[in-house]
A and B are shown apart, each in its own frame.
Chain A
Amino acid sequence: MHKVLGTVLLCTWLSLLVPLFLVQTIYPRDLLELHPPPPTKSGDFTYRSRASEVRLVFFATDEHNRRVEKLQRDDFAVIDNGWVIRNFRSFTSASLIKLDVTVLIDSSESVQPRFHQEITDVLAMISQWPWEPGDNISVLSFSGMDVHALCTGNCRYWLTADRAASLRNGGATPLFDAVITATNSVTAHRQPDIWPVIILFSDGNDTISKATFHAAIRKVIASEEQIYTVDLGDPRRPSDGTAVLRKMANDSGGRFLSLSDGPVKILNDVMDDLHSGLLVTYAPPEFSSGFHSIQILPTHNLSLQFRCRRGYYDHYSGSARQEDGP
């Protein structure tokens, strides 16, 4: 009786173990043989990736254009390509992030009457800025056919009045080329925890760039930089250049300022902005490469106003389609 019971138990165990053994050993090999990997030449691999997170710096103001001190993460929603995002991965103050500031100085012929004031403002801004230990500042100037990198990385004490006086000036205005050069320079040493900002002093009247205005804007948006434009033109007579500078500032989420406001106001406005910046991160809502438009809207208080860049590029396989631009 016990022998029969033992045999039955043994058979039961075997009937369980044998299929398990077959699945563990034979099946994966068969599976690999049935579905072999596609033939590739040695080293001919394709790596695909897409943006897994969108990082967005933005600014919130109330109906009196004053900064909102205590904004909560459920006070706003991001509209990404029309999709409403309320579920954020993180929400912090952007002032905690290190700054990578590039100052772009227009030293072309068209700004010569105001060049001295321009340089004075740049010097004042750099010297009075409350730099944090990890912050970077680079200074570039542009005139003639060239963009000159005057100092990169740590230029807090480099630009002096003597050095500024010896700057090459005169000639044409390669504004768009300069913006692209500055963007490339920032992108080359870009780190995720750095907030890239360009402060552009110019009259906005490009005369010689190889790049177009749209190419420059596209580059700025793709690199997620913010541009603060300081208009060197006459505020009583707005020109095409003023419109160009406004568009650059608006599309990148920065601000348009005028040289006539004076160095103190320019510095305060930029500083206030950078201190009141907020950073939100979220997963992109849809599977589409190319340009994603962004807007931020309130979830409760309709009097709140939000400012951010106009969008971002979701690069699939590392390429952004040219026709999808903003």
Chain B
Amino acid sequence: MKRAFLFILAFCNLPILLVAQIGMYQHGSVVRMHMGDCMLAHHGMTVAFGPPAIPSQDSCPEYTLVSTNVVYVIVGKSSNQLIPLSEVIDFRLHRNELAVRVDDAKRETKFTIKEMFVRSDWERVQHHIEAEMKAAEVREAER
């Protein structure tokens, strides 16, 4: 019985272990997080092309994940789909979704990809926004 249980456990964890060993995980860091609309995560493409949906009362976590070359904005599928905000997280792309390895645990949690940017473009936009905000503050203070 115990052996069978261990076998099933090993079998279930095999894909993740395999992925980890092959080194398919990319590394990134979450720099922004807020609770946003769940609609995108719930309905996916139907939001864009289907009939107008009733706004959801729920809010889902939205993360900005910065990797070496690409910045992903990802949305959870429920309000409690949180990922640990450690300095570096492991993730991989899987069928139009982004699977995040929850810290050292042998499980993944999948997020809908809302937006993707080339990192250099994203950083340029961020610098621009910051400069604009500074200028606006100075203008307001001088008024």
In the complex the two chains form, is B133's CB within 8 Å of A288's CB? yes
Return the contact of A316 from the options B85, B86, B102, B141 (Cβ within 8 A). Answer: B141
Which of B118-143 touch A at CB < 8 Å?
130, 133-134, 137, 140-142
- Given A84-B33, A287-B130, is A77 in contact with B85 using a C-beta cutoff of 8 Å? yes
B2 to chain A, nearest CB (A): 28
Question: Which residues on B sit within 8 Å (CB–CB) of A287?
Answer: 130, 133-134, 137
B70 to chain A, nearest CB (A): 18
Bitwise, B13-51 to A at CB < 8 A (1) or not (0) is 000000000000000001111100000000000000000
In the complex the two chains form, is A300's CB within 8 Å of B31's CB? no
> Is A24 engaged at the interface, CB distance under 8 Å to the other chain?
no
Question: Which residues on B sit within 8 Å (CB–CB) of A283?
Answer: none
- Size of the A side of the interface (Cβ < 8 Å), in residues, is 21
- Given A287-B130, A317-B141, is A83 in contact with B84 using a C-beta cutoff of 8 Å? no
In the complex the two chains form, is A298's CB within 8 Å of B85's CB? yes
A300 vs B142: C-alpha distance when bound (angstroms): 44
> Is B58 engaged at the interface, CB distance under 8 Å to the other chain?
no
Bitwise, B83-126 to A at CB < 8 A (1) or not (0) is 01111000000000000001100000000000000000000000
Nearest residue (CB) in A for B137 is: A316
In the complex the two chains form, is B133's CB within 8 Å of A299's CB? no
In the complex the two chains form, is B85's CB within 8 Å of A83's CB? no
In the complex the two chains form, is A86's CB within 8 Å of B84's CB? no
- Size of the B side of the interface (Cβ < 8 Å), in residues, is 19
In the complex the two chains form, is B34's CB within 8 Å of A79's CB? yes
In the complex the two chains form, is B85's CB within 8 Å of A84's CB? yes
Most-contacted residue by chain B among A46, A287, A316 (CB, 10 A):
A287
A86 vs B88: C-alpha distance when bound (angstroms): 11
- Given A77-B85, A286-B130, A297-B85, is A302 in contact with B102 using a C-beta cutoff of 8 Å? yes
Bitwise, A239-259 to B at CB < 8 A (1) or not (0) is 000000000000000000000
- Given A46-B142, A288-B133, A317-B141, is A300 in contact with B32 using a C-beta cutoff of 8 Å? no
B37 to chain A, nearest CB (A): 15
Nearest residue (CB) in B for A288 is: B133
In the complex the two chains form, is A297's CB within 8 Å of B33's CB? yes
A185 vs B30: C-alpha distance when bound (angstroms): 41
Seen from chain A, the residues whose Cβ lies within 8 Å of a Cβ on chain B are 46, 48, 74, 77, 79, 82-84, 86, 286-289, 297-302, 316-317
Seen from chain B, the residues whose Cβ lies within 8 Å of a Cβ on chain A are 30-34, 82, 84-87, 102-103, 130, 133-134, 137, 140-142
